[in-house]
Amino acid sequence: MNALAHRTSTTPASWPRLGWLAVLVTGLVLFGAVGAVTLDTGDPIFLPCLLLLGAAIVPVTLTTFVTAVAHTHLSLPNILTAAVLGGVLGGILAGTLEFDAARTLGWLPFAIVALIEECAKLAVPAVFLAWLAWRHTRPRAVDGLVLGVAVGSAFAAVETMGYAFTVLLRTGGNLQPVDHLLALRGLGSLGGHAAWTGLACAALFAVPDARRRGLASLRFLAVLVAAICLHAGWDSAAAIGHGDLAIGLLSFTALMALTWWLHRAARRSAESPKAANRPPTGWIRPGAAPGGPPSTSGTLAGAPVTSAGP
């Protein structure tokens, strides 16, 4: 797991603030090109690429935007690894549990689906958090936000590819309903899985370093319950044909508000000498004196973590 290491902040110096726009435009151009070639040649070999691009454009753009705005100290390998593992393993875990629940109950309530999926998406971030604890490295809420958005976006992309492939089979290879589905789910992903997991993961990563861990734990549970309720409400509203847009806008607004708040908090923390030198409240290596010189044993991949969390 050496790839999962804190590095020098990937933002804002390394990633241009408008990188998300380049990702969006490039993705749309590639999607259009692949779609045109597929229609022109009728060769199904291009279909997997078409589904992948269509499902990933908006989620990757959102992840790029949040990462560029947030002052995260996660490296690009951190984010990519979490996204791939979280999206694939989270999907496998959620699918297995949902199948077992449906077989046991005879049907699958939206609340159960939301509970399973929101918890499954936190599996990889929770392992990452435990690994940071083992390495005696202090987590930050902003890092949890970025990881959560990356994992939620990957989960949404995997789910969208599955739905699109199903529609492709049911329609005998008709691309028009597939394009319609990809567009709807792409826009919906802005206020869907990425937002819910980003909010919950930020609250989770804020717990270990909180001065009042009990209160922080309750806050995490409250955010997780809120995410589950938003997810269940989204599914219910989509089933009846109205209301899902309002829930999506609410979720997206909450995500952007938290991103802005953590961005401001991280900047204030980075500009404050006292905050920069403040020792971790919950992540001090045994035997190390609070406020003492940093120990090289509390580093990841040889790079000491000196940043302060919000």
Single out the residue of 293, 184, 282 nearest to residue 234, CA to CA: 184
C-beta of residue 195 within 8 angstroms of C-beta of residue 234 = no
Annotate 181-218 with b (16+ C-beta within 10 A) or e (fewer): bbeebbebbbbbbbbbbbbbbbbbbbbbbbeeeeebbe
CA 99/CA 249 separation, integer angstroms = 30
Residue 172 Ramachandran class (φ > 0 left, ψ -120 to 50 alpha, else beta): left
CA 99/CA 114 separation, integer angstroms = 14
Single out the residue of 187, 223, 193, 182 nearest to residue 206, CA to CA: 223
pLDDT in tens, the chain (310 residues): 444 444 444 444 444 578 899 999 999 999 999 999 999 998 899 999 999 999 999 999 999 999 988 878 888 888 999 999 999 999 999 999 999 999 998 888 999 999 999 999 999 999 999 988 888 778 889 999 999 999 999 999 999 999 999 999 999 888 999 999 999 999 999 999 999 999 999 999 999 888 888 999 999 999 999 999 999 999 999 888 778 889 999 999 999 999 999 888 877 776 665 544 544 444 433 443 433 444 433 333 333 443 334 4
pLDDT given at position 270: 67
Single out the residue of 60, 238, 64 nearest to residue 155, CA to CA: 60
C-beta of residue 153 within 8 angstroms of C-beta of residue 194 = yes
Structural domain boundaries in the chain: 74-272
CA 28/CA 21 separation, integer angstroms = 11
pLDDT given at position 279: 45
C-beta of residue 156 within 8 angstroms of C-beta of residue 195 = no
pTM: 0.81
Task: Give residue 125's identity as a one-letter amino acid code.
Answer: P
Residue 272 Ramachandran class (φ > 0 left, ψ -120 to 50 alpha, else beta): beta
C-beta of residue 298 within 8 angstroms of C-beta of residue 304 = yes
Written as one string, the DSSP assignment of the chain is -TTS-B-S--TTTTS-TTHHHHHHHHHHHHHHHHHHHHHHH--GGGHHHHHHHHHHHHHHHHHHHHHHHS---B-HHHHHHHHHHHHHHHHHHHHHHHHHHHHHHSS--HHHHHHHHHHHHTHHHHHHHHHHHHTT----HHHHHHHHHHHHHHHHHHHHHHHHHHHHHHTTS-HHHHHHHHHHHHHHGGGTHHHHHHHHHHHHHTSTT-SSHHHHHHHHHHHHHHHHHHHHHHHHHHHHTSSHHHHHHHHHHHHHHHHHHHHHHHHHHHH-HHHHHPPPSS-PPTTPPTTSPPPGGG-BTTB-------
